[in-house]
Chains A and B, each alone.
Chain A
Amino acid sequence: MKGLPSLSSLALTLRTDRQVRARALLIARIAIALYIVELALNLIRPHVLPDEPALSIFYKMPADLAKMPGLGGSFSQLLSMPEAVFWAVLVGIGAAVLLQVLAAVLRPNERRSGLLTWLTLGCLFLPFGLISLMVVFGFFPTALACVPSTAFVLLLLYGGVRFGRVPGAALLTAFGWGALIVFGFGRACTGLAFGTINGYLGKTSGTDINAMLKNTNEMINLVLVHLGIVDALAIGAGVALLLLLFRYRVTDAVTGLTLGAAVGLGYSFVESILFIQIYGSLGSALGSSGGFEYWIRQSIGLLGGEVAFGALLGAGFAIAANSRRCVLVTGLSLLAAGGGAVGAETLSGWISARLASHVTTGGALDTLVVSPFLWLLPQLPFIGLAVALLVLGLRERAPALRDALDAEAAVGAAITPVELTVLASPALRLGALASTWRWYGRRSALVLHRLQSAQLELASWHAQKDPDNDPAVTSQGDELRARVLRLKNVVPAVTS
């Protein structure tokens, strides 16, 4: 893709130094420690049924129950962890330990040490992604139906901000982290927690049907809280890792917000597929349908849910990185994203239950107005906050863009004074593109678009931080300048 920066220029801004490797391994160790705690708690849970396996995830639904319409297939994947994935995770942990022992014994150079770190992270995290892949490929037609809307939002995230733009590869990595790791890790941990909670609550209810119903409600509440916390932590881990990798580029609230939204979008993509399938098969019993889930999750609420909460978390993390109260801001971001996700879903359900008593659902008004309104109402303050952070972040960027453009205009012909006004204003850039298309045709407009993108990338290079004065970063500036001059058909002056 011509608009995307080349991989070599991206690699220059990727810093896989010792600090990044140490932090990445720390994040992985915390995640695996959390998973092992979940396993241990599940192992020591009280057993409700006489023939229950040691780990609840190995429990097989009785054959006659599994044959009931809707209860097999998609529904069984709501919080489950297939046995194969469980063993793959254990093998991954073993392989990661071996790789780290190898690194400690061999003491490799920087490049090999980096490679071993990324291999270790792959062994630890990728097996969780198998859960997501099983959902995506298991319900492939539904996944295809969700692709256009998801791709549209990804393009918006990529094309919406051009100065200090998040590289396309980073955006896709963030999306992949959300789709594979956040969804897989969240389901793996919450599947275990579900068994543990069921063990404790099921034991107290015995055979009393009222107590069982009460416990089921409590169980759903606890599972929601657990899923919200684990998902927020996993989204935060991904954003933190990406912000660290790109920390010498422009990493402000807008960068964090974009990355967080991309992680949330990846998560929402897989979750939507699963819910569309579940409600598609259990629709008549639950009062919803697969198409309704598509409408809520991939249309009217596409920018809500984990996309909004992920954006909030990402912006919070980026602000925390540049703040003196780093721990406080990080904690508040996690609270806002995790608590918001749980609170919004619980509150929507609660209001819906109050409305639903003795009333028939299913009309056009319920489908098109009431349901999305109640789903999005509790999320609105969080969506508003994310939008406010985006607007404030973009306003803060405006003077930085002007300074960067002035700095470049002072040193060469890549940006001339005549171009400054247009390049500094997103509205004028868009207007110039549209007018060029109208008067000179598509080809000229495309040339202008490429040139503006290259010039803004050069301006972003001026704005990025380089405390180490790395010669590679300086040469990257020369490369970007040469690229702009090539697009302008200007022969660059020979410099000694």
Chain B
Amino acid sequence: MTARRTAYRTARLLALRAGVGAALLVSTFVLLSPQQASACDVSIGYKPSVNISDLEHPSTCSTSTSLVGAGIVDALGLGALVAVAWGAFRRSEKGSDSASTGQVGPSPALVDYLRAAGVPRPTTGGRHEGER
């Protein structure tokens, strides 16, 4: 069990490093490769200038590309929130004795806390109580 957990942790760490490394590599390549890049106008401070060639061959930061970006940011934002919640949950579970002993079920610390808080803990119909 412990060996499996260590292997899982090592694999996760390696995957994380590989992901970050790949992202850095791609960003560096994109930013340093010789290409023409510019920014589209965002606000009044950009002092927009209109010329005839722009009107003849309009090249805009398009809505479709922008919405793809917005979708990615939404997914990343929600993913970050889920990761924070998941991390807190994992830490909470790891802090219990049951995690170290491999016991399946709520930790004694959680049971004590909920008892002190007077929170109902369904013994019948509860999702995982029967597994204990």
Contact = CB atoms under 8 A, between A and B. Distances in A.
B97 interface: no
A345 interface: yes
A370 interface: yes
Interface string A204-242: 000000000000010010011000000000000000000
Interface string B32-70: 000111111111111110100011001111111111111
Nearest to A422: B113
A441 B46 contact: no
B60 A287 contact: yes
Contact of B37 (A365, A419, A488): A365
Interface stretch (B8-16, B17-25, B119-127): B119-127
Interface stretch (A8-16, A99-107, A428-436, A468-476): A428-436
A285 interface: yes
B66 A294 contact: yes
B7 interface: no
A19 interface: no
Interface stretch (A32-40, A246-254, A356-364, A457-465): A356-364
B119 A436 contact: yes
A430 B88 contact: yes
A290 interface: yes
A292 B110 contact: no
B79 interface: no
A275 B43 contact: yes
B54 to A, nearest CB: 7
B59 A295 contact: no
A493 interface: no
A360 B48 CA distance: 14
Listed residue (A283, A361, A370, A443) with the most chain B CB atoms within 10 angstroms of its CB? A361
Contact of A362 (B40, B74, B107, B126): B40
Interface residues of A, number: 76
B53 to A, nearest CB: 10
A289 B120 contact: no
Interface in A297-331: 297-300
Given A352-B41, A419-B113, A435-B107, A287 B69 contact: no
A346 interface: yes
Nearest to A431: B92
Given A296-B42, A345-B43, A287 B54 contact: yes
A444 B62 contact: no
Contacts of A422: 113
Interface string B91-132: 111010000000001110010111111111110001111000
Listed residue (B48, B95, B112, B117) with the most chain A CB atoms within 10 angstroms of its CB? B117
Given A355-B39, A431-B91, A436-B110, A348 B117 contact: no
A359 B46 contact: no
Interface of B: 30-31, 35-48, 50, 54-55, 58-70, 73-74, 84-86, 88-89, 91-93, 95, 105-107, 110, 112-122, 126-129
Q: Which 5 A-B pairs have the closest CB atoms?
A: A431-B92, A291-B63, A488-B118, A295-B66, A345-B45
24 contacts: A284-B58, A287-B48, A288-B41, A292-B62, A348-B45, A349-B45, A349-B46, A360-B59, A361-B40, A365-B35, A365-B37, A369-B31, A370-B38, A371-B40, A430-B89, A430-B92, A434-B86, A435-B93, A438-B127, A439-B110, A439-B126, A439-B129, A440-B106, A451-B119
